[in-house]
Structure 1
Amino acid sequence: MITAALLGNPNVGKTSLFNILTGSNQYVGNWPGVTVDKKEGFLDSSIRIVDLPGIYAMDTYSNEEKVAKEFLLNGNADVVINIVDASNLDRNLYLSTQLKEFNKPIILVLNMVDVAESKGMQIDYSRLSKELNVMVVPIVASKNRGIDELKRILQGGDFLSSSIENGCHFQNEKETYNYISSILSKCLKYTKKDSISISEKIDKIVLNKYLAYPMFLAILFLIFKFTFSWVGQPLADIFSDFMDSSFIPYLKELLANTAPWFSSLLVDGIVAGVGSVIVFLPVILALFLGISILEDSGYMARAALMMDKVMRRIGLSGKAFIPLIISFGCSVPGIMSARTLESERDRKLTALLSPLMSCNARLPVYAAFISAFFPEHAVGVIISLYSIGILTAFIIGLLFKNTLFKKDEEPFIIELPEYKLPEFKNLMIHTWDKGKGFLKKAGTIIFSVSVIVWFLSNFNFSGMTEMNNSILASIGKLISPIFQPLGFGSWENSVSLLTGLMAKEVVLGTMGVIYGGDLNVTLLNHFTPISAYAFLVFVLLYTPCISAVAAMKKEYGNNMAIFSVLYQFGLAWIVSFIVFRIGSLF
């Protein structure tokens, strides 16, 4: 078995190359002793590829650098696949020179050669290979160009014949960069003089000090408009109408001759619970299509750069913006990605703020209530909810910065990739990955909770009974006084919030089981517009789902997880109370 270590700077296409080489033969875990992703995959039965964390150097300041160095020293790597940005060789080759010190055969993979060519860069690959004494393979990972040659080299073992030499052991960065410059002077020529790249031209507008933030807000507005007005919600409405007018009546007719409890379990339990959530799949897909476009185009890194000044107000660098952005998809990877930050203090503070970002699990709840109460103001209501989450995170960050997490700020370094048109195939893959996770949750957690909720809402200790006398009603009536000052203190709503601790989509699934029928009509009978909005604010801010709490515990221990549970519940109660009381004045 040949083991290949895949290594490179962030944003050079390492993940894309790993996915192309390994396909679905991937395994993700953690490196022993540190909370850094360990990704492994197989090109075929004889070649194992280990995807090491993206790093800029081997200085062992961060966990990622320590993991990479430790693996190259003790991980039995037979070859290093060092992927670099061909359009940025002077900076990317710094890591390459350090890799030579590990006495391993190196395949230098020059990615994005199309970008380099568009900049007028002519690279003499043979000369570069000779100067660095490594194999050089030019590729364009996004277009699958050059990949077959790389696979041939790996599968044929050609790299084993490449000579191995010790690294240059320079005393400082300046000597190292002088060495790189001397090599590039022999291997690199420019056919365009003093030309400004397309990315630089775009950045003059996108990063303009007057236009940057308005453009950022405008882009977010368009994404929400696309999701809730133009595509996502209209498709969800069509799906919902089909369920209510065609599928459920057909299912009831089909089950007419079965036992009443069995028919109720399928129709009122499983279909009502899972169906009330799954109809919002188009909303999820539409939102993540928009986010994937931002990521693949290169704009997301610019957004992090723009937010650096804002983030520093709460004691974090712009790098912390990335985990927060990820948390708009799901709090779990947001919490886990906070591990990439340099200091323990930054990691903990970012992890505590991440669940305040409105994750996609809340979207079905928002969509259902907006459809019932605010159909003419959907985008405005959604933007207000996301804004409340961000503003609350900012205020809590300020509070924690001056109390629990006092420390000097960390420097912020981020790679700004070239702008590119997102590949349609990649967009579909990224978007479907998010949709697949949503469907998986619907088929497991939401399905299970729907069955449990149906059982608890139809039985007590004496047997089958009316819902108001059920076990679920008893639980709901016990906790409902907590929510009465917030305007939604019925036992049904209280139980929905309780089950929402499993997953936020379950809030809506539980309501589907308990209320039944046309959910829009039912919600209008149980909420006023202001209590509905207060309810959405509570759903936005209250205790993270059990998966997020588990991630918090895994990363930072029991005390941090317990603190997260308690502080967010109290925070949600206070903000929702303020919203309801102020709204009731008008």
Structure 2
Amino acid sequence: MIVAALLGNPNVGKTSLFNHLTGSNQYVGNWPGVTVEKKEGYIDNSIKIVDLPGIYAMDTYSNEEKVSKEFLLNGDPDVIINIVDSSNLNRNLYLTTQLKQFNKPIVLVLNMLDVAESKGFKVDFSILSKELGVLVVPIIATKGAGIDKLLEILKNGDFKQSADDSEKFKFENEKEAYSYITDVLKKCLTRTKKDITSITEKIDKIVLNRFWAYPIFLLALILIFKFTFSWVGQPIADTLSDFVDGSLTPYLKGLLSSTSPWFSSFLVDGILAGVGSVIVFFPVIFCLFLGVSFLEDSGYMARGAFIMDKLMRKMGLSGKAFIPLIVGFGCSVPAIMSSKTLESEKDRKLTALLVPLMSCNARLPIYALFASAFFVNHKTTVVFSLYILGIATAFLIGILFKNTIFKKDEEPFIIELPEYNIPQARSLLFHTWEKAKGFLRKAGTIIFSMSVLIWFLSNFNLSGMVDMDKSILSSIGNFISPIFAPMGFGNWQSSVSLITGIMAKEIVLSTMGIVYGGNLSTILPTRFTPISAYAFLVFVLLYTPCISSIATMKKEYGNKMAAFSVTYQILLAWIGSFLVFRIATLIFG
């Protein structure tokens, strides 16, 4: 089998190329010993593509650089696929000169030819190939142009050209390397137009304007929430919920009417109520991720990090830490893991502690249900307010930690601002599915298992099958419910829902679906007031993350930090929920 290492600077289209080459035949994990994502894909089971982390150089300062260098030295790849931005060859080719030192055949993939041409750049591919001693393949990854030529080279083994010129590229320092690159580009690169203002530059003059940047960023987020909760996601979820409650549940009850009562209850009140109450919100999850993926693929998300740098500095972090926080809106586990890519120990630890305050996708179904039940005409506003509250809380906690437990110097901020492009539908849907499928995986594993356990605990005690009010679960709930009474939701049902939610936040709804039974949208208003419902959502937002996040925190940063994270978030959630309930009660009565 041919093994190809895929390498390039960040934001040069490496992910798009990897997806085009491997399609759905991909495997994602982590490199042994480090938390840098490892992607492998296959072409016809005869070529393995190893997607190495995006890096600028091979100086082995970061985990990504160490991983890449280690693989090239010990992974024994047959060929290096080095993808570069055709419109920025001067910087991109620095990595190429370092890759030449590994004495491996290199296929230099010139991506973004359309962008280069729009800027007036013209590359003589044959001269560039001769000067660097590499095969050159021009492509436009977003459109799939040129990919067939690269596939042909890989399948036929045409990359096996001489690669014994590594000595030529052993420069004494960075200045020599760039001097060589400049000489090469003088021979092969011409500019047919002068002083061209690109579309990206024109857009950035608006979206990065010091007056308009924040309003535009906020507007982009609001549009995503409108798309998710008002226009597409929530309406579809409501239709699915009506189908489950109005058609599927009665049908299943009738079908099982001749079976034993406990078996019927197990399937309808346990599995269907538990898993069904969560799975109907998949359209909401998918639409939110679709919006986020659009911002990422269009190139705007990197601008978000740049825009947020000034604010992030106030809590002792650089704008680069904004990326793990954004990842936290999807799931805290990869967000905590991605915090390890930050340069300083202070940034890594502080970011990891703040990540769980971002509203992960597991909390979204809870927000959506309560917003639909209590705030029908203001669903988007209520859910958006919770996301803003999480960000604001993280900001305040960050300032507190910066001035207490993390008193260290700040790190410089360097980030690549990619060219804007219109995301391709296939790539966009693929990225969205990759983010959202974990939700379905949870529904089929953790949520299913917990639904069975919760049904058992809510229908049995030591003497056998009993009414729910006499069950093991109700005993547990009644014991802990006084803790939540000051926030307005001191009933045993909501109390056990919060406890089981530590396994996975979606299980809050699964538990409620089982212990309340029936349509939660109509039952919950009889157990909560709008004020206590919002206080409950604040507690869900702020309290300790799921068990997987806790385990990841423990693995990456040790027992003490994991314990501290859990403790401070529980206290923060109680205080925050208490204040919201009491202040809102004083104002609205």
Q: Deviations over 1:326-346 (max 9, x none)?
A: 111111111111111111221
Distance 2:70 2:292 in 1: 35
Q: How does 1:236-251 map to 2 (within 5 A)?
A: 236-251=237-252
1:183 maps to 184
* SS state at 1:158 partner: coil
Q: CA deviation at 1:45?
A: 3.5
Distance 1:52 1:341 in 2: 17
Q: Residues 427, 26 of structure 1: CA spacing in aligned structure 2 closer, same or farther, 3 A cutoff? A: closer
Q: Deviations over 1:462-500 (max 9, x none)?
A: 000010100001111111111111111111100000110
Would you say the 8 A contact 1:251–1:267 is kept in 2?
A: yes
Amino acid at match of 2:282: L
Q: Deviations over 1:344-383 (max 9, x none)?
A: 2211111110110011111110111111111111122112
* SS state at 1:50 partner: strand
Amino acid at match of 1:261: W
Would you say the 8 A contact 1:78–1:104 is kept in 2?
A: yes
Unaligned runs of 5+ in 1: none
Q: Deviations over 1:425-447 (max 9, x none)?
A: 11211222233221111111111
Q: CA deviation at 1:78?
A: 2.2
Distance 1:562 1:421 in 2: 44
Would you say the 8 A contact 2:142–2:423 is kept in 1?
A: no
* SS state at 1:194 partner: coil
Q: CA deviation at 1:517?
A: 1.4
Q: CA deviation at 1:576?
A: 0.7
1:490 and 2:483 equivalent?
A: no
Amino acid at match of 2:210: K
TM-score, scaled relative to structure 1: 0.98
2:298 maps to 297
Q: CA deviation at 1:149?
A: 1.5
* SS state at 1:48 partner: strand
1:466 and 2:482 equivalent?
A: no
1:141 and 2:148 equivalent?
A: no
Q: Deviations over 1:266-299 (max 9, x none)?
A: 1111111111111111111111111111111100
1:157 maps to 157
Q: CA deviation at 1:74?
A: 2.5
Q: Deviations over 1:224-277 (max 9, x none)?
A: 111111111111111111222211111111111111111111111111111111
* SS state at 2:160 partner: helix
Amino acid at match of 1:579: V
Q: Residues 133, 29 of structure 1: CA spacing in aligned structure 2 closer, same or farther, 3 A cutoff? A: same
Distance 2:46 2:4 in 1: 11
1:542 and 2:548 equivalent?
A: no
Q: CA deviation at 1:155?
A: 2.0
Distance 1:12 1:525 in 2: 54
Distance 2:38 2:235 in 1: 40
Q: Residues 174, 365 of structure 1: CA spacing in aligned structure 2 closer, same or farther, 3 A cutoff? A: same
* SS state at 2:363 partner: helix
2:116 maps to 116
Q: CA deviation at 1:34?
A: 2.5
Q: CA deviation at 1:24?
A: 3.4
Would you say the 8 A contact 2:16–2:141 is kept in 1?
A: yes
Would you say the 8 A contact 2:83–2:111 is kept in 1?
A: yes
1:306 and 2:307 equivalent?
A: yes
Q: Greater shift after overlay, 369-378 or 70-79?
A: 70-79
Q: Deviations over 1:55-88 (max 9, x none)?
A: 1011221121122122222322222111111111
1:572 and 2:569 equivalent?
A: no
Q: Residues 227, 59 of structure 1: CA spacing in aligned structure 2 closer, same or farther, 3 A cutoff? A: same
Amino acid at match of 2:90: D
Distance 2:431 2:15 in 1: 12
* SS state at 1:161 partner: coil
Q: CA deviation at 1:100?
A: 1.2
1:75 maps to 75
1:105 maps to 105
Distance 1:72 1:493 in 2: 53
Distance 2:418 2:77 in 1: 29
1:20 maps to 20
Q: CA deviation at 1:30?
A: 2.8
Would you say the 8 A contact 2:110–2:139 is kept in 1?
A: yes
* SS state at 2:423 partner: coil
Would you say the 8 A contact 1:328–1:360 is kept in 2?
A: yes
Q: Greater shift after overlay, 52-61 or 298-307?
A: 52-61
Q: Greater shift after overlay, 220-229 or 203-212?
A: 220-229
Amino acid at match of 2:443: A
1:233 maps to 234
Q: Greater shift after overlay, 415-424 or 237-246?
A: 237-246
Amino acid at match of 2:371: I
Q: Greater shift after overlay, 240-249 or 384-393?
A: 240-249
2:394 maps to 393
Amino acid at match of 1:347: R
Distance 1:549 1:388 in 2: 22
Distance 1:428 1:156 in 2: 31
Distance 1:515 1:70 in 2: 55
TM-score, scaled relative to structure 2: 0.97
1:513 maps to 514
Distance 1:285 1:459 in 2: 37
1:440 maps to 441
Q: Greater shift after overlay, 347-356 or 134-143?
A: 134-143
Distance 2:71 2:450 in 1: 43
Q: CA deviation at 1:27?
A: 3.0
Q: Greater shift after overlay, 398-407 or 462-471?
A: 398-407
Q: CA deviation at 1:147?
A: 1.5
Amino acid at match of 1:143: K
Amino acid at match of 1:29: G
1:556 maps to 557
Distance 1:380 1:14 in 2: 37
* SS state at 2:226 partner: helix
Q: What fraction of aligned residue pairs are identical, expressed as a percent?
A: 73
1:89 and 2:89 equivalent?
A: yes
Would you say the 8 A contact 1:135–1:162 is kept in 2?
A: no
1:33 and 2:33 equivalent?
A: yes
Amino acid at match of 1:13: G
Q: CA deviation at 1:408?
A: 0.9
Aligned CA-pair RMSD: 1.4
Q: How many residues align?
A: 586
Q: Deviations over 1:396-419 (max 9, x none)?
A: 111111222221111111111110
Q: CA deviation at 1:526?
A: 0.5
Distance 1:289 1:265 in 2: 35
* SS state at 1:192 partner: coil
Q: Residues 432, 63 of structure 1: CA spacing in aligned structure 2 closer, same or farther, 3 A cutoff? A: closer
Unaligned runs of 5+ in 2: none
* SS state at 2:50 partner: strand
Would you say the 8 A contact 1:356–1:392 is kept in 2?
A: yes
Q: How does 1:53-64 map to 2 (within 5 A)?
A: 53-64=53-64
Q: Greater shift after overlay, 446-455 or 27-36?
A: 27-36
Distance 1:425 1:542 in 2: 37
Q: Greater shift after overlay, 26-35 or 202-211?
A: 26-35
Distance 1:84 1:355 in 2: 35
Distance 1:22 1:421 in 2: 22
Q: CA deviation at 1:566?
A: 1.3
Amino acid at match of 2:322: F
* SS state at 1:16 partner: helix
Q: Deviations over 1:126-184 (max 9, x none)?
A: 11000111111111222222122112212222222234212433333333222211111
Q: Greater shift after overlay, 368-377 or 204-213?
A: 368-377
Q: Greater shift after overlay, 452-461 or 380-389?
A: 380-389
**Consecutive aligned runs of 4 or more in structure 1 exceeding 6 Å deviation:** none
Q: Deviations over 1:18-53 (max 9, x none)?
A: 222233333333333322223223324443322221
* SS state at 1:200 partner: helix
* SS state at 1:307 partner: helix
Q: Residues 434, 53 of structure 1: CA spacing in aligned structure 2 closer, same or farther, 3 A cutoff? A: closer
1:224 and 2:213 equivalent?
A: no
Distance 2:18 2:6 in 1: 8
Would you say the 8 A contact 2:103–2:163 is kept in 1?
A: no
